[in-house]
Chain A
Amino acid sequence: MKLKKISRGFAAFFVLIYIAMLALTSLAFEAQADVNQMLGTASYKIVDTGDGTEDTQYFKKKTRSIDAFMDQKLALVEEIVGEGIVLLKNDGALPLASNAKVTTLGKASTALVYGGSSGNAAIGNPGNSEINWTLKRGLENAGLQVNPSVWAFYESQGLSYTAEPSAEPDPSGIPTEDEEKYKDAAIVVFSRVTGEGGDAAEGYYELTETELALVKHAEEISENVIVVINSPSAVAIHPLVEDESVRAILQVGGLGARGTKALGSVLTGAVNPSGKLTDIYAADSRSSAAYQMAGTKEYANAAEILAAADAALGIGAGGTKYTLFSEGIYVGYKYYETRYEDSVMKQGNADGKAGAFLSSDGWNYADEVDYSFGYGLSYTSFTQELQDVSVEDGVITATVKVTNTGNLPGKEVVELYVQSPYTEYDRQNGVEKSAIQLVTFEKTGLLEPGAEETLTLKMDAYNIASYDAKAAKTWILEDGTYYFAVGNGAHEALNNILSAKGKTSTDGMTANGDASLTKTWENPAFTTLSNPTFTENGFTTENGLFHNNTGAEITNRLGDADPNTLLGDHTVTYLTRSDWDGSWSSGIQALTANKTMIDHITFASLYEKGAPVGDMYHYGVEGSMSAIMAMGKSYDDPVWDELLDQMIPEEMIATVGKNFGAIDPILAISFPGTSDNDGVGSGPATNYSSEYDQGSTVFEGIARYSTIDPRMYPSESVQAATFNQQLSYRTGEMMSEDCYYAGLTSLWGPGLNLHRHPYAGRNFEYYSEDSMMTYITGAQITAGLQSNGVIAGPKHFCFNDQETDRYGFAVYVNEQATRENSLRGFEGAVAVAKAKNIMTSLNRIGPDWVGESDELQNGILREEWGFDGYTITDNALEPYMCGRSIAYGNDKLMLLPGNSRSDELNKTALLNDVNLFSAVREACHRILYTFVNSKAMNGISSSIEVVPVNPWWKTALIDADIIFGCLAALCIVGMLTGENKLKKEGK
């Protein structure tokens, strides 16, 4: 009886375990490349049939050991944050004496924001203070002494860094016993953080009553109240700007692993702050033109769309929704500054009430903006002299002399801006012009007091052209006067231009400008740039960033993203400087999708199946070609056809439609496969390889590197705030080195979408609200990342500027805004830095999903920008991210375990549809062309064969299946034995 009961119990238990193991085995085998990546194993081995003397390390690590690398990486993180902290206000409170006794206040003081709150770009090693230094450790490292009882109070709250602002503890509970001893300064830390998958709720970037009460409490503790804003997005800090008792304000985004060390150095003056704002700091976080259209709206006929949707493909969770970029080109500072110029020039109803949030009587810049884009202070002072600006052979060249006129050493940023003429032609043809636009920037070295440095800034004149979608249908440089200016931020530069135009504060300017910091260039004739030729072209670390020549015609391609094209003129209104008051958005309108739009939204009429493949293509051909033979060959070399002919359909399908972060080995051509993962902002989203598991000398108490997450870099907004191009390039190089230690072939980053407004969930993964900042920094990081055989995958191409309803929502926008804003960053990474991989986004452009947009992927990306790498989708969770997208220029689907596209991507379907077959073959060509010229080929030579093996985990899983199956069977036998025994005993 007892035997039977126990046997029965264990039989049920082992049946459960056995079936669970079978499920796990099936999942792991399906995603073997991803599992291999996680465990550092391989499903293949390399057999060398040669003499083994050939050097097959085509790309080599640059550091001698992982400890040496880690030292360099942490020093770089510290350097980025040191240069990316922005000093917004300083009434003599900073720098602090190095032995000052300070009280730190605010829930964020013990729960800092190191990166974003979720997704693969979040900071690694959360809670590990050995890696991610606390604020206390950073301050004490700089010599400051921290109030222990107040620190303990906040620690005892146990609040997460993601806690809402409303969780800020009431200041009345803060212990007071040590206040007298630690009153040299009261450092108040406020944070805001968002992440992947959602946008911030309205009002999130406003200060709460409790936070303002905390500032008052700080003012009672010390005369030196210093506020640190720890947020990748701009926070509305107007009350602090106005409060004279707040004597200093610093801004910094996600701090990265050693950011607090840099913060301590900045507070004590060991590092002189030199960062500049990458987003405008508006007095009200909801006052931007773009925010008026935040979120999504459902189509008026959403039910009709759902009814028309193909049940198998679906349309995505956000497929019945859309947003409109009604702000046109006026994102961020371009809106505030252009409206400011027009208010000074008394044109375009700029001082109307529409869009006025804090202005009492009509829109007023001084009331609406606290700090402009590009603004930032130093502990020393500098003068800049704009010596010369020329535009020759399509290149703008500016020479600027910078002199340190203060008493401390420091670095200074030179920001070059332009104002293009806003003409009658523009008004007639709907071309918008920002009154001020960043052209480029450079940073000096460390200048001692009295020292000077002359910087030369260069940029393609193409980048100051305007896109005319109506008349010229391409880029135009109008005839007239172009004003170039430098200044501490966009607003000061604009004031300098207004001064050159004869305007003063009596005309309504916020301050008088300096006309000597402006130069003009007269363009004698209206020029179109439909097929521009770039005299200096390509990227070099010495010469800078220049567009590569492609010879392709640039013309309208995204008209179908504009409701005025799809549904008729005047369906929607875009913001125009010819009438600010009349064109200000009053919210998203409910559009009714017409039949054509519904067909596109539901994928009904896009794809045409071809004839059976027959003998039109070869596949599975027995041959002796191996992938390494194509290394260094041009994309059109015949060797590629021979290689592709050897691949069997199953291998073709696996290459384009399997795995999340890896490509399987292709045995037919001895291609070893790849290991790819996210790497935007914070670093590679995988652990270091166990190959480097010797005891770390860098981190106390951490013995194995494989337990360490490489995601230690600060958020992208901090990188951009350095305004240091060379530092960005070095960051790319360092991330490339990271990939060697983490075993990655490619890194999906950098993030090149825009901060359209503060509330977008993934702003921490993107650089700025400005497209040229994104163009420049993105290109530098990409070039650095790809400098040593690693593939960069900038993302999310494109218009992924919000997270709400991201799976399938549509973006409606006019072509000028796409060209000058959203696409610009990607253009820099591709057309300048030659990125080899692009990750497409989950959303639609107009009614078409981006991954099915021929115009975006083939027209703009490949033809106009000369992209010769491969595209990969973002996480293809939803079925609308379908196999047939490969026929529209998508190359690879990113699929998690358990997610496949076997309905469309199977051998039978492929061989019965030559259109799909040829598209998949071409996608394989692009993928192989990319990786055959990368570090993926390290260890591979022509005498080498890639042969399949079972990694240990496969053997272990199969063994476990057998063992648990046997145990279940054994228990069942035990049960039967017990049953027989009972029968024999007559029970």
Chain B
Amino acid sequence: MAKLLKGKKIGAYFNLVAAVFAIVALIGYAFAGQDSYGFVPMVVILLALGVISALIFTWHDFYGFGPVVTMAFFAAGFGVFLNSRFMYYSHQYYKIASDPISAAMIVTTIGMIGMLLFELISAFMSWEEKR
């Protein structure tokens, strides 16, 4: 890890925090997805690709595309998640959900928001000494 972070600037650290949030979201979703609103494998695939992308670009930010590519995966994962969970939030808002608000869904939601927020912040910062 020390080698990976050698010569890195604050943006890369924010990117890694985003990746950690994505992992939190993945773990949360593994539990939350067992409720009656269902589990969509594509969410996991896209978030996992986002995490891999975050790690690769942390190692080396090829052409400065790190945040763009990583954000594309995270945003797509979030989009699929939201599409499949639209009803969950709607039902909770109207208090008509068939499943109660679960800790897993709170964790997943926080993970998703944190992931997007930190990745966005990281995009406005330098990731490497050379750039």
Q: List 9 A-B contacts (CB under 8 A).
A: A4-B131, A5-B125, A8-B67, A11-B68, A16-B75, A22-B79, A317-B98, A899-B87, A975-B63
- CB of A806 within 8 Å of the partner chain: yes
The answer to whether A317 and B99 have CB atoms under 8 Å apart is: yes
Q: Quick one: given A807-B36, A898-B84, A899-B87, are A15 and B95 in contact (CB under 8 Å)?
A: no
Cα–Cα distance between A978 and B65 once the two chains are bound (Å): 12
- CB of A117 within 8 Å of the partner chain: yes
The answer to whether B68 and A896 have CB atoms under 8 Å apart is: no
Determine the main DSSP class of B at the interface with A: helix
Give chain A residues whose Cβ lies under 8 Å from the Cβ of B68. 8, 11-12, 15, 972, 975
Known: A19-B72, A975-B64. 13 other contacts (CB 8 A): A5-B124, A8-B64, A11-B123, A12-B70, A19-B76, A20-B78, A20-B79, A26-B83, A197-B97, A317-B98, A878-B36, A975-B63, A978-B64
Give chain A residues whose Cβ lies under 8 Å from the Cβ of B130. 987
Give chain A residues whose Cβ lies under 8 Å from the Cβ of B119. 12
The answer to whether B71 and A896 have CB atoms under 8 Å apart is: no
- CB of B90 within 8 Å of the partner chain: yes
The answer to whether B72 and A27 have CB atoms under 8 Å apart is: no
- CB of A913 within 8 Å of the partner chain: no
Segment 78-131 of B: residues with Cβ below 8 Å from A: 78-80, 82-87, 90-91, 94-99, 116, 119-120, 122-126, 130-131
The answer to whether A9 and B67 have CB atoms under 8 Å apart is: yes
The answer to whether A12 and B95 have CB atoms under 8 Å apart is: no
Smallest distance from the beta carbon of B32 to chain A beta carbons, Å?
Answer: 14
The answer to whether A4 and B64 have CB atoms under 8 Å apart is: yes
Segment 195-253 of A: residues with Cβ below 8 Å from B: 195-198
- CB of A450 within 8 Å of the partner chain: no
Q: Quick one: given A22-B79, A979-B63, are A317 and B36 in contact (CB under 8 Å)?
A: yes
The answer to whether A877 and B91 have CB atoms under 8 Å apart is: yes
Give chain B residues whose Cβ lies under 8 Å from the Cβ of A317. 35-36, 98-99
Smallest distance from the beta carbon of A984 to chain B beta carbons, Å?
Answer: 15
Smallest distance from the beta carbon of B20 to chain A beta carbons, Å?
Answer: 18
The answer to whether A9 and B123 have CB atoms under 8 Å apart is: yes
Give chain A residues whose Cβ lies under 8 Å from the Cβ of B84. 898
| Pick from B80, B98, B122, B124: contact of A877, CB under 8 Å | B98
- CB of A897 within 8 Å of the partner chain: yes
The answer to whether A975 and B65 have CB atoms under 8 Å apart is: yes
| Pick from A9, A27, A195, A875: contact of B83, CB under 8 Å | A27
Give chain A residues whose Cβ lies under 8 Å from the Cβ of B97. 197
Seen from chain B, the residues whose Cβ lies within 8 Å of a Cβ on chain A are 35-38, 63-65, 67-68, 70-72, 74-76, 78-80, 82-87, 90-91, 94-99, 116, 119-120, 122-126, 130-131
What 0/1 readout, one digit per residue, does chain A (302-330) give for beta carbons within 8 Å of chain B? 00000000000010111000000000000
Give chain A residues whose Cβ lies under 8 Å from the Cβ of B83. 23, 26-27, 898
The answer to whether A12 and B123 have CB atoms under 8 Å apart is: yes
- CB of A272 within 8 Å of the partner chain: no
Cα–Cα distance between A198 and B91 once the two chains are bound (Å): 13
The answer to whether A316 and B63 have CB atoms under 8 Å apart is: no
The answer to whether A15 and B75 have CB atoms under 8 Å apart is: yes
- CB of A6 within 8 Å of the partner chain: yes
| Pick from B85, B96, B99, B116: contact of A196, CB under 8 Å | B96
Smallest distance from the beta carbon of A679 to chain B beta carbons, Å?
Answer: 16
Q: Quick one: given A9-B124, A13-B120, are A807 and B98 in contact (CB under 8 Å)?
A: yes
| Pick from A12, A195, A976: contact of B67, CB under 8 Å | A12
Cα–Cα distance between A877 and B99 once the two chains are bound (Å): 11
Cα–Cα distance between A10 and B97 once the two chains are bound (Å): 37
Give chain B residues whose Cβ lies under 8 Å from the Cβ of A875. 96
Smallest distance from the beta carbon of B84 to chain A beta carbons, Å?
Answer: 6
Cα–Cα distance between A15 and B116 once the two chains are bound (Å): 11
The answer to whether A117 and B75 have CB atoms under 8 Å apart is: no
Give chain B residues whose Cβ lies under 8 Å from the Cβ of A806. 98
Nearest-CB residue, chain B, relative to A23 = B79
Nearest-CB residue, chain B, relative to A119 = B96
The answer to whether B123 and A13 have CB atoms under 8 Å apart is: yes
Q: Quick one: given A12-B68, A16-B116, A975-B65, are A877 and B123 in contact (CB under 8 Å)?
A: no
| Pick from A27, A316, A975: contact of B36, CB under 8 Å | A316
Cα–Cα distance between A783 and B80 once the two chains are bound (Å): 45
The answer to whether A16 and B120 have CB atoms under 8 Å apart is: yes
Smallest distance from the beta carbon of B130 to chain A beta carbons, Å?
Answer: 8
| Pick from B80, B95, B116, B123: contact of A197, CB under 8 Å | B95
Cα–Cα distance between A975 and B116 once the two chains are bound (Å): 20
Nearest-CB residue, chain A, relative to B91 = A877
The answer to whether A118 and B94 have CB atoms under 8 Å apart is: yes
Cα–Cα distance between A316 and B36 once the two chains are bound (Å): 7
The answer to whether B87 and A896 have CB atoms under 8 Å apart is: yes
Smallest distance from the beta carbon of B74 to chain A beta carbons, Å?
Answer: 8
Q: Quick one: given A15-B71, A15-B75, A118-B94, are A898 and B86 in contact (CB under 8 Å)?
A: yes
Give chain B residues whose Cβ lies under 8 Å from the Cβ of A378. none
Segment 14-72 of A: residues with Cβ below 8 Å from B: 15-16, 18-20, 22-23, 26-27
The answer to whether B94 and A119 have CB atoms under 8 Å apart is: yes
Give chain B residues whose Cβ lies under 8 Å from the Cβ of A316. 36, 98
Smallest distance from the beta carbon of A123 to chain B beta carbons, Å?
Answer: 13
Smallest distance from the beta carbon of B40 to chain A beta carbons, Å?
Answer: 10
Segment 948-987 of A: residues with Cβ below 8 Å from B: 972, 975-976, 978-979, 982, 987
- The 5 A-B pairs of least Cβ separation, nearest first, read A118-B95, A12-B123, A9-B124, A23-B79, A19-B75
Cα–Cα distance between A978 and B131 once the two chains are bound (Å): 11
Give chain A residues whose Cβ lies under 8 Å from the Cβ of B98. 197, 316-318, 806-807, 877-878
Q: Which of A16, A19, A314 has the most CB of B within 10 A?
A: A16
Cα–Cα distance between A22 and B78 once the two chains are bound (Å): 12
Smallest distance from the beta carbon of A805 to chain B beta carbons, Å?
Answer: 9
Cα–Cα distance between A330 and B28 once the two chains are bound (Å): 47
The answer to whether B82 and A23 have CB atoms under 8 Å apart is: yes
Give chain A residues whose Cβ lies under 8 Å from the Cβ of B95. 117-119, 195-198
- CB of A120 within 8 Å of the partner chain: yes
Nearest-CB residue, chain B, relative to A899 = B87
Give chain B residues whose Cβ lies under 8 Å from the Cβ of A976. 63
Cα–Cα distance between A197 and B95 once the two chains are bound (Å): 6
The answer to whether A877 and B64 have CB atoms under 8 Å apart is: no
Nearest-CB residue, chain B, relative to A315 = B36
Smallest distance from the beta carbon of A311 to chain B beta carbons, Å?
Answer: 11
Nearest-CB residue, chain B, relative to A806 = B98
Smallest distance from the beta carbon of B46 to chain A beta carbons, Å?
Answer: 10
Cα–Cα distance between A801 and B46 once the two chains are bound (Å): 43
Smallest distance from the beta carbon of B89 to chain A beta carbons, Å?
Answer: 11
Smallest distance from the beta carbon of B50 to chain A beta carbons, Å?
Answer: 12
